Structure 1
Amino acid sequence: MPEFLNILNLDAHYGDFQALYGITLHVDPGEVIAIIGANGAGKSTLMRSVSGLMKDGAEAIRFQGQKIGALRADQVAARGIALVPEGRQLFPSLSVEENLILGGQLGRKGPWSLKRIYDLFPILEERRHQPSTSLSGGQQQMVAIGRALMANPDLVMMDEISLGLAPVIIKQIYEALPGIVGQGMAAIIVEQDISKALSVSRRVYCLQEGRVSLEGASNSVSREEISRAYFGV
C-alpha cells in the first residue's frame, strides 16, 4: 500500500512540559482511524503537531512520502491535510457562507463545493447569511466540518467533534461521516465517546499520558483492553 501518513517517534513540548512521548502511528489512504483517550492524554497535541501548529516533529511526520513536520500550518493544508479544531474556532465576524468560502481559498481541486456542503448539511444553506457564531453549537460544528472539506483535503482530522453537543446533533454529524469519507478521503477522528469512535473507524489508537497505550482493529479490541489502556490500570 502506498505511503500516506506516517508518524515515527514523535515528541512534543509546551515549553519545558513534554506532552507526547515517542508517538508512532500511521494512516493508510482512504482509512478512518480513531484516537481515544482521557482529557490531557495528548490527543489535541497530536492533531496540532500533524497540522503544523507545533514544531517538534520536523523529522517525525511524513505525508505522502514527504517530511512535513517543519512546515507552517498553511503549507500543511496546501499539501492536503485539513483540521476541524476542537472548539470549532469559526470567524465570528463572518457569515456561515463566508466561513465556508475561506476553507476553499487554497484552490485545491476536488469534489467539495458550497453546493455539496449544503447538500450534506441543509440547515447551513438556510442560514448561510447569518453570523456563524449565532448558530447553535451543533450547527457551528457543521460549519467547521464544511470549512475543512472545502479545502478538498486528502486527510481530514476531526478533533472532539461531539464535545458538548446534544445526542441528536451528534447522531446527525456521525450519520454524515460516510458521505464525507466515502470517496477515498482518509480521516482521523479524535473522540472521547468510545462507542462512536469504534463504530466509524477501521483502527483505533488509545493515548495515555502522551504515549500510545493501545493499537488495534476497532472491531476486535475489547472493552477490557480499552479500559486498561485508557486509565492505565
Structure 2
Amino acid sequence: MPDPILQISALDARYGDFQALYGVDLTLGEGEVMAIIGANGAGKSTLLRSIAGLMANGPDQIVYRGRPIGALRADQIAGLGIALVPEGRQLFPSLSVEENLLIGGRVKRDGPWSLAAVYDLFPVLKDRRAQPSTSLSGGQQQMVAIGRALMANPDLILFDEISLGLAPIIIRSIYDALPGIVAGGMSAIIVEQDIAKALSVSSRVYCLQEGRVSLEGASCTVSREEISRAYFGIA
C-alpha cells in the first residue's frame, strides 16, 4: 500500500447517548481511492463527518499526514487539505452556482482547481453559473457540490453518497469524471450504496456494519459472498 495519508485508530463516535462508531481502524494510502460500503445506519456518514471535523473526536484517533487532527475544527481541517462533498449536497440556496463554487475557494490553498478547471470538468455548470443553485437538477447540484469541494484544492476528498437519488445516466457521468479528479494524486474516500460501482472505482473497500468494520480488503479480490456476510452481519 502507498504511504499513509490518513490513519484512524479506535475511533468512537456518538450522537448524544447513541454510539454510531465502535473502535474503527482505517488506513488510507497517498493517492488511493477507497470505498466505504454498508447498510443505512452503519456509520458511513458519521465516519466521513468525523474525518472532516464535523464531530468531536479524540485528537489521536484521526491522524492526517502524521498530525493528530481529531480535535480540530472543520475549517482547520479544510485548511489542511481535506474536503467533504456532503450527503444531500447542502448547497447555499440563496447563492448562484458560481457563488457556491467560490465558497470552496475561500480556503485559499494552492493547486490546480479553479473556476475554469471546474467548468472544464462540468461544462453544464458554466452555462448555468448565474442561476440559483437550487434551480438545477439533482445531478447538476451534485456537480456543484463536487466542484465546491475541488475549489478548496484538497489532497483528500470525501464523497458522501455520491450517487444518492440520481438517475443512472447522471451517476455514470459523475463517475466518468472521477479519474480526472484524482489524476493528480489526490486521495479519495467514497461512501456509496451501489456496491458494484464502489468496487469498480476503488483499490480497497471497507464495509461497516452497525458501527464496526466488518470487512476490509482489495476491491478486486473480495467476493460477493464476503461482502454479503459483512454487509448483513451473517455469520
TM-score with structure 2 setting the length: 0.98
Amino acid at match of 1:9: A
Match of 2:19 in 1: 18
Shift of 1:126: 0.3
Answer yes or no: is the 8 Å Cα contact 1:49–1:57 preserved in 2: no
Amino acid at match of 2:153: N
Match of 2:114 in 1: 113
Q: Note the alpha carbon deviations across 1:44-70, whole angstroms, 9 max, x for none.
A: 000010000100232200000000000
- Structure 1, unaligned runs of 5 or more: none
Match of 1:101 in 2: 102
Match of 2:91 in 1: 90
Counterpart-to-counterpart distance in 2, 1:3 and 1:176: 25
Match of 1:176 in 2: 177
Q: Please, which moves more after superposition, 53-62 or 67-76?
A: 53-62
Amino acid at match of 1:198: L
Q: How does 1:120-135 map to 2 (within 5 A)?
A: 120-135=121-136
Counterpart-to-counterpart distance in 1, 2:139 and 2:23: 35
Amino acid at match of 1:202: S
Amino acid at match of 2:180: G
Answer yes or no: is the 8 Å Cα contact 1:207–1:213 preserved in 2: yes
- Structure 2, unaligned runs of 5 or more: none
Match of 2:81 in 1: 80
Q: How does 1:35-54 map to 2 (within 5 A)?
A: 35-54=36-55
Match of 2:158 in 1: 157
Shift of 1:182: 0.8
Q: Note the alpha carbon deviations across 1:30-55, whole angstroms, 9 max, x for none.
A: 00000000000000000010000100
Shift of 1:87: 0.3
Shift of 1:106: 1.2
Counterpart-to-counterpart distance in 2, 1:153 and 1:42: 24
Counterpart-to-counterpart distance in 1, 2:3 and 2:198: 25
Counterpart-to-counterpart distance in 2, 1:152 and 1:56: 25
Aligned sequence identity (%): 75
Answer yes or no: is the 8 Å Cα contact 1:12–1:57 preserved in 2: no
TM-score with structure 1 setting the length: 0.99
Task: Give the total of aligned pairs.
Answer: 233
Counterpart-to-counterpart distance in 2, 1:60 and 1:84: 22
Query: Secondary structure of 2:193's match?
Result: coil
Answer yes or no: is the 8 Å Cα contact 1:83–1:148 preserved in 2: yes
Counterpart-to-counterpart distance in 2, 1:59 and 1:11: 12
Shift of 1:83: 0.1
Q: Note the alpha carbon deviations across 1:65-113, whole angstroms, 9 max, x for none.
A: 0000000000000000000000000000000000001101011000001
Match of 2:62 in 1: 61
Calculate the aligned-residue CA RMSD, in Å.
Answer: 0.7
